[in-house]
Structure formats: structure tokens, C-alpha cells
Structure 1
Amino acid sequence: MSTIVETPGDWTQVDASTRRRILTHSPEMMVVEVEFQPGGCGPAHSHPHLQATYVRQGVFDFTIAGRTRRVTAGDSLVVPSNAVHFCESATGGTLIDIFTPAREDFL
């Protein structure tokens, strides 16, 4: 099996304080970098994908299924499939999100 290394995709502006880019993907998995300005918020949503998030830098308040947790650089978390979740950036920062399967709506 060979390893495929991709160049990150172009940035997509999600809203005034948030942007994302796909780092790599296959049908089974997707890795996405998300940058937030201070106070930036990912609105409440859910999706059928299992999501793992790694905090590259910054401080974020994540609410998953009604439970809020503060995470900082080096922390990670898992969002179960179909769980309503959102986050707010206290400082601005960067998240690395991994989805399985890939988020077709991001392509």
C-alpha cells in the first residue's frame, strides 16, 4: 500500500471569523484545519460522521450533547455521530478535525 501526501486545499471562508481547508481526504476519512479569530464560534450542528478534534493552538469551549468542556493546545476530543455540538474560541486558534467517513459536503 502506498502513502499519498496531498498539498492542503484552498481556504474556505466559513463566516467572518472562521475559515477551513481540507488537508487530505479519502472516501473513508478527511482531515481539516479550521482557524478561528478570537470569539469565533462554530454554530450548533450535528452530522452522521464520527469526529475527532485536536487543538493545535488556542483555547476553545466545546459543548457536545449539552456538556461543555474547555480545551487548550494539545488537547483532543471525540464528537459521537449525530451529537449536537458547537465551539467558541476564547483566544483565537486552530483545530485539526478528522471525520470518518469524509465530509462530502466540504468537497
Structure 2
Amino acid sequence: MTTSYVKTFPPVDAGNGVTRQILSENADLMVVKFTFGDGAQGLRHNHPHVQSTYVESGRFEFFIGEETFTVGPGDSFVVPTLAFHGCRAIEPGVLIDTFTPRRDDFL
């Protein structure tokens, strides 16, 4: 399919054993694929975006605020605006994150 709606973004090194690739985006919404190696970490941070995370593969320990939980394939959850959060790959895997509005810092 070739339309003005389809864009291709290369994967980039996000650090700590994580690769990030934008799958689609516009000003209101962004979908991003994060690939984690064994033991890779998404360092704790926060942002003004609402984030929805879907676990495509692997197992992860997540931290949101003071809560810690483990997720695996097929699990999903929402990270509220400005909530401090991060994760650690228990097994290598892939997370699909959706942000609203778009994460301009990823462009």
C-alpha cells in the first residue's frame, strides 16, 4: 500500500538494551514498538502523555508509582499522565505503546 498516510521510521537505540521504532503517528496519537533484550530496562520516567502498553511477547516487571507488577503476552494496561513508571525485561520481548498526544521527543 502506498499512500500519503504510510510512513516508515527506522529503529533507533533507546539505550539500556532497548530499541524503539515508531510504527505510526500524527499530532494526536503515536504507536511505538519497543524491543527489549534480556534484562533490558526502561528507566523510570514520566511524561504528560497518556500511555497504553500492550505486551506482544516476553515477560516484564513494571513499576507505576509505588506499584510493581509482572505482565506477559496479551496483557495490557494504561499509564496515567505524569505517573512515574519504568520496566525491566524478565524475558526478552516486545511492547507496543500508544501515546496521546504524540511523543514529539521521539521524532
Asked if the contact 1:6–1:23 (Cα under 8 Å) also holds between the matched residues in 2, the reply is no
Asked if the contact 1:45–1:84 (Cα under 8 Å) also holds between the matched residues in 2, the reply is yes
Asked if the contact 1:20–1:35 (Cα under 8 Å) also holds between the matched residues in 2, the reply is yes
Amino acid at match of 2:17: S
Alignment CA distance shift 1:41-1:16 (3 Å):
closer
Q: What is the TM-score of this pair, normalised by structure 1?
A: 0.93
Q: What is the TM-score of this pair, normalised by structure 2?
A: 0.93
Identity between Structure 1 and Structure 2 (%): 42
1:100 aligned onto 2:100 = yes
Q: CA RMSD in A?
A: 1.4
| Distance (Å, rounded) in 1 between the aligned partners of 2:8 and 2:33 | 9
Asked if the contact 1:62–1:85 (Cα under 8 Å) also holds between the matched residues in 2, the reply is yes
- The residue number in structure 2 matching 1:78 is 78
Amino acid at match of 1:49: H
Alignment CA distance shift 1:5-1:75 (3 Å):
farther
1:1-107 equivalence runs, <5 A: 5-107=5-107
User: How many residues in Structure 1 have an aligned counterpart in Structure 2?
Assistant: 105
Q: Report the CA distance between 1:15 and its aligned residue.
A: 1.3
3-state secondary structure, aligned to 1:105: helix
Structure 1: runs of 5 or more not aligned: none
- The more displaced of 34-43 and 9-18 is 9-18
